[in-house]
Each structure stands twice: as structure tokens, then as C-alpha cells.
A and B are shown apart, each in its own frame.
Chain A
Amino acid sequence: MIRLSWLQFRAQALTAAAALAAFAILLAATGPHLASRYATSAITGCHGGTCFSAAITFLSQLQATSPYAIVYLLGIAVILVAPAITGIFWGAPLIARELEAGTYQLAWTQSITRTRWLVVKLVLTGLAAVAVTEALSLMYAWWADPIAKAIDLGGSTSLFSGGRFSLATFATHGITPLGYAAFAFTLGTAAGALIRRTVPAMAVTLAIFAAAQVVMPLGVRPHLIPPDHTVATIQSVDLDFGNLTATVVPRQPGAWILSSEAINAAAQTTSQLPAACEAAGSGLKPSSPGPCLESRGFREAITYEPGGRYWPLQWIETGIFLVLALALAGFCFWRVSRRRT
């Protein structure tokens, strides 16, 4: 059965291998240059406050240089889309195509139980789908390492702004791509087993997976571990004065800020600068309204996840998707064997 699965999966596997190779070539062609730019930048040997400005200089120069910005975005897009692609083109037809073409009548009347047939198909194709996505993610993490380091030092530009907790970065690095890929693949297979037609199953897979990619970071991830709260003085907070939100938590480097708001002397939340501070804030220098607000008793309330929770959150999110994937695989087995029992 393994040999048959490989025979039937070979063409798709070769396509995936070609796509991986193309991605690897793109990264290998630009990665070493990126690493040497980082090594020769002012970040090397920096200390204290100079690192911050060195990081900003490095990133803004990088953003202005043609291939890096494109590869940076392309890489994230590829890793976000890869699970959907494997779910749609590998998962959805796995059972649906057999039912649609009637070939299940051939496959399931050989001297092999259909449970075994499905085990081999699911495991072989599913592992390939997971491996492809994770390989993309690892290659990309290697390529983007200098950018990630500069961002960790506090550097940011309009493009290179996402720390490791940012929406696009969290789901494309670490172990979460494994979970997303396993989920998308089994989702496609289960949709195919339920709908019994390939194209509608593909559409349903895409819709549900895209929804999961939105719901997980916005609706679920912030609640996985109860966040911490702190109230900081305005001047200790790196504040985006346009809307009075904090961008850095004091003494919590690399923390993930879930929400922040200014509170006035009466402990009420506010989104407006007092008129007296408005003038000070109208200048481009962001630090200027700080003392003004500080003197009027303004403080900043911040809800955040400490940086140390990065890996726990990665494990929990991946675990959730793996459990969902197992449940969907179980549904496929039930659906396939139900035709008999």
C-alpha cells in the first residue's frame, strides 16, 4: 500500500519538491548578502542605546534595497499559503476523487482493508504536507534571521516592524506552521469525505482554513494564557502618541502587547490628549507631550504577554491544531468505514 500511495502521490511530491527548490534558490541567492550586510552594519559591536539606532538604520537601508523587501513579504506569504495549497490540492481530492471517479470500488475491493488504505494515504501525504510547510518556514527563518535580530533590538520601519509575536511572524515561525499544515490537510480530506466532490471540497477547505487563520490570532491566541497587566508612567513607555498606545512594555523586552490605553488622573481611560498637551504633541518629536501628560497625572495601562511566553504559546497553538487535525482524521476514518458497518 505504501508503494501504491507513493506511485499515486509521486507527481504531486515532485511538484512540491520543485517549489521547495525554487524557494530555496531564491533564499540562497539573497540570504548570504543579507547576512553580510548585517555583519558589516553598525549593529555589530554596538552597545546600549546605539544598538537601537543602528538597528533602525540597518532596517531602513534594507527596505530601500530592492530584493529584500520583496523576498521578506513573499516568504511570509508563501508560508501562510502553503498549508492551504496542500489542504486544497492534496487533502480535498484524497477521498473525494475516489468517490467521484468511482475508483473507490477498485481500491476498496483489493485484499486490503480500507482502514489500512486510509492510514497509509493520510500518513504519507499528510507528513509530506507538514514537512513542506515546516521546511519553508525553517529556510525562511534562516534567511530572515538578521531582520529578526534588528527588530529585537527595537528597530522598525514601515515594512520590517513585526516582532516575533506579530500576526504574520508568529504563524510562520517556530512550530506553528506544523500545526497549520496538519490542520489544513486533514480539513481538506475530511471536507472531501463529507462532500464527496473535489471542487466544492476545495472551496470549503479554503474558506474554513482562511477563517481559522484569522480567528486564531485575533480571537483565540490572546486568550490562550491569561495576560499580565501593568500600569506604567507615560515617560517609561515607548508611546505612539497619535492614539496613545504603548509599543514597548517597561522592563519586559520582547513582550506582546495585547492592548494599552492612557488613563487620566481620575483613573478613567481616555483616548484624547488634553488640550494643553495637544500643542506639545503636534510636533513630530514624540517625546514632547510626555512630560506634559506626566505632570497631569496621566499613566498608561498595558495588557501584555511577557516575551518568555513565546514558546508556551507556540506549543499551545500548535497543539490545538494538531488535536483538530486528529479529530478530522478520525472523522475521515469513520466516514470511510461507515459505508460498511
Chain B
Amino acid sequence: MTAVIETSGLGKRYRRTWALRDCTLAIPEGHVVGLVGPNGAGKTTLLHLATGLQAPTSGTISVLGAPPPSSPGQLGRVGFVAQNTPVYARMRVADHLRLGAWLNPSWDEKLAQQRIGELDLDPRQRAGTLSGGQRAQLALTLALAKRPELLLLDEPVAALDPLARREFLRGLMEAVAAHGTSVVMSSHLVADLERVCDYLVVLVASRVRVAGEVSALLATHCRLSGPRRDPDTLPADLEVIEESHTDKQSVLLVRTGEPVHDPAWTVLPVSLEDLVLAYMNPANEMAVRRPQLGLV
């Protein structure tokens, strides 16, 4: 497995506070990867380190098998759509495309024009007067037309209404399908990621809590409900992620390699959102301190 982003003990400190600390992960190529985590988990910092916008305070990071981009050639291989999708408010839409064309040797003018046409953006309109959704689409167009091998997106849809959100993700998916680009997209909205991501990394307080292909995650997690029971008496191959108990009943979210056949339990599938929320909940942190299965 080749990693598009690989970090080891990666840390970034701003003055006295650590935005990211001792982060070790490997994100495989050829996926649309959702990077999920609560606010302050270090998602933005991780992406800024991967784009080369920030330099790590400690540890190492490699992007597409090389240090984070600093040379023009490396910069061209990584596309970035920043949080809140900043564009130059006073520049026209067409000027942004010219910016892309002037600064990127790999610029795909046809792709850019085609997207602007499909999005029905007026090339003469100033970017500052675009709606949030249009602005995000313009920023995505700039990043896509650069034809990067790896596209990084930092909460690109967080500020958009549901319709604009769907349109944005649809555009992203079309481009990714056409060009085979690897994508890493951060979000704290699991519902968005569920639609587009086939790989998930849950980052909580700089640590990878769980990572893996979405289908595998869904296949290896389930919810058990049954008579009250001490989780320590469960078989060893059941890893309890989340537990809640009443006087008579226990409900557990577990990770397991094997189907659960114990008739005492009612076995229910979990949604991706429930799964992610269970991993993100700090109250469950103790439960998953045990060695993790599979990919990190």
C-alpha cells in the first residue's frame, strides 16, 4: 500500500499550545478519504502541514512519498481547497482562472472552462459577490484544473446549505472519478462524508482513533442489546467501543471480526454516523485503549 500522506510523531505548536501532537498515520492512495474529528482535533493543522503551508514543530510527514511541497514541481502535485474556500474578493471569476493558468504549468484550461460553464458562473462576476456555494465551486475548480495527484479539502462544505453541499460533492466526485485523483477531505459532518468517502480516518486530539475502508468498518462493527452484562465477561474477540447500561439492559457498540451468534444479544447494524460518534466521544476513550485491529 502506498501512502499519500504518512506521518510519524507529527506535531505542530503555536506559541504554547499544541494544535497537533504526536500524530502517526498513513493514508492510502486511490481513495476518497474522510478525515473526521471534533473541532480542535488537529484536522486543519494536519492538512496545512501536508500542503506545506505550515512546517512541523516535531516529527515527520511525507506527502506522495516526498517531503511536503515546497518546490514548484511538488506544489503542482497537491491541490488544496482551504477552509471557508478563500478567493480574491475583488478579482473576477475569469481572473481566478487566469491566476490558475499563469501559476500552474499543469493547468487544464478545458476542464476549468467546462466546470465554470456547467456551474453557470458568470466569468465577469467579482468573486466577492459569489454565494458561498459558488465560491466553494470556484475554489474547487482552481484546485481541480491544476490536475493534482492528491487533492486536500479542509471542511469545504461546512458553510454551505444542503443543496450547495450536494452540488459541491457531486462535482468533486465526478472529477475524482474522471481523473483518479486521491482525495483527503476533512469534516466534522459525518453525513456528508458518508455519501462520498470510501475510507475514513477518525482523528481525536491528534490521535487516530479508527481508520479503514468504510465498507470494512461497517462490516466489523455492530450494536448489541440484551440483558445487563459486565463487558469484561464478553469473548475476547469483541472489542467494546461504547457501552450504556440500565438496570436490566446493556447496549454495546462493538468491533468484531466474527459474526455474533450469542442468542442473548440482539444484533443490529450500525450507521457510519453512529460509529464515528462512538469513536469521537471522549467518554469512550478508555474503552478503546486496547490494541486496535487493522489499519492505522
Interface residues in chain A, defined as those with a beta carbon under 8 Å from any beta carbon in chain B? 1, 3-4, 7-8, 11, 101-106, 108-113, 338-341
CB–CB B75/A112 < 8 A: yes
Most chain A C-beta atoms within 10 Å of own C-beta, residue among B55, B91, B99, B139: B99
Given A103-B88, A105-B82, A112–B103 Cβ distance below 8 Å?
yes
Chain B residue with the shortest CB-CB distance to A340 = B55
Besides the known contacts A111-B104, A338-B55, 5 further A-B residue pairs in the complex with CB atoms under 8 A apart: A105-B86, A108-B52, A113-B75, A339-B55, A340-B68
Binary interface encoding of chain B residues 78-94 relative to chain A, with 1 for a CB under 8 A from any of its CBs, else 0: 11101110111111000
CB–CB B86/A4 < 8 A: no
Binary interface encoding of chain B residues 30-70 relative to chain A, with 1 for a CB under 8 A from any of its CBs, else 0: 00000000000000000000011111000000000000111
Query: Nearest chain B CB to A339's CB is how many angstroms away?
Result: 6
CB–CB A340/B86 < 8 A: no
Which B residues are CB-close (under 8 A) to A113? 70-72, 75
| Other-chain residue from B70, B86, B90, B146 in contact with A110 (beta carbon distance below 8 A) | B146
A–B complex contacts, Cβ < 8 Å, 5 sampled: A101-B86, A101-B88, A109-B75, A110-B104, A110-B146
| Other-chain residue from A3, A11, A339 in contact with B102 (beta carbon distance below 8 A) | A3
Given A7-B91, A109-B80, A340-B70, A1–B102 Cβ distance below 8 Å?
yes
Is B269 interfacial (CB 8 A cutoff)?
no
Is B24 interfacial (CB 8 A cutoff)?
no
CB–CB B75/A111 < 8 A: yes
Which A residues are CB-close (under 8 A) to B71? 113
A154 to B139, CA, bound (A): 66
Given A103-B86, A110-B103, A113-B72, A339–B54 Cβ distance below 8 Å?
yes
Chain B residue with the shortest CB-CB distance to A110 = B103
Interface residues in chain B, defined as those with a beta carbon under 8 Å from any beta carbon in chain A? 51-55, 68-73, 75-76, 78-80, 82-84, 86-91, 95, 98-100, 102-106, 139, 142, 146
CB–CB A109/B53 < 8 A: yes
A268 to B34, CA, bound (A): 87
Given A3-B102, A103-B88, A111–B76 Cβ distance below 8 Å?
yes
CB–CB B104/A101 < 8 A: no
CB–CB A8/B78 < 8 A: no
Which A residues are CB-close (under 8 A) to B105? 111
CB–CB A340/B52 < 8 A: yes
Query: Nearest chain B CB to A334's CB is how many angstroms away?
Result: 13
A33 to B187, CA, bound (A): 71
Which B residues are CB-close (under 8 A) to A3? 98, 102
CB–CB A109/B78 < 8 A: yes
Which B residues are CB-close (under 8 A) to A341? 55
A103 to B83, CA, bound (A): 10
CB–CB A101/B89 < 8 A: yes
Which A residues are CB-close (under 8 A) to B52? 108-109, 340
CB–CB B98/A7 < 8 A: yes
| Other-chain residue from A104, A105, A110, A339 in contact with B99 (beta carbon distance below 8 A) | A110
Chain B residue with the shortest CB-CB distance to A117 = B103
CB–CB A7/B95 < 8 A: yes
CB–CB A340/B100 < 8 A: no
CB–CB B72/A112 < 8 A: yes
A92 to B242, CA, bound (A): 53
CB–CB B95/A111 < 8 A: no
Which A residues are CB-close (under 8 A) to B69? 109
- Listed from nearest, the 6 A-B pairs whose CB atoms lie closest are A105-B82, A111-B76, A110-B103, A102-B86, A109-B80, A111-B104
Which B residues are CB-close (under 8 A) to A106? 82, 86-88, 139, 142
A103 to B86, CA, bound (A): 5
CB–CB A339/B146 < 8 A: no
Given A7-B91, A102-B84, A106-B86, A111–B142 Cβ distance below 8 Å?
no
Chain A residue with the shortest CB-CB distance to B128 = A101
Given A7-B91, A7-B98, A111–B86 Cβ distance below 8 Å?
no
Query: Nearest chain B CB to A10's CB is how many angstroms away?
Result: 10
Which B residues are CB-close (under 8 A) to A340? 52-55, 68, 70
| Other-chain residue from B51, B82, B98, B106 in contact with A111 (beta carbon distance below 8 A) | B106
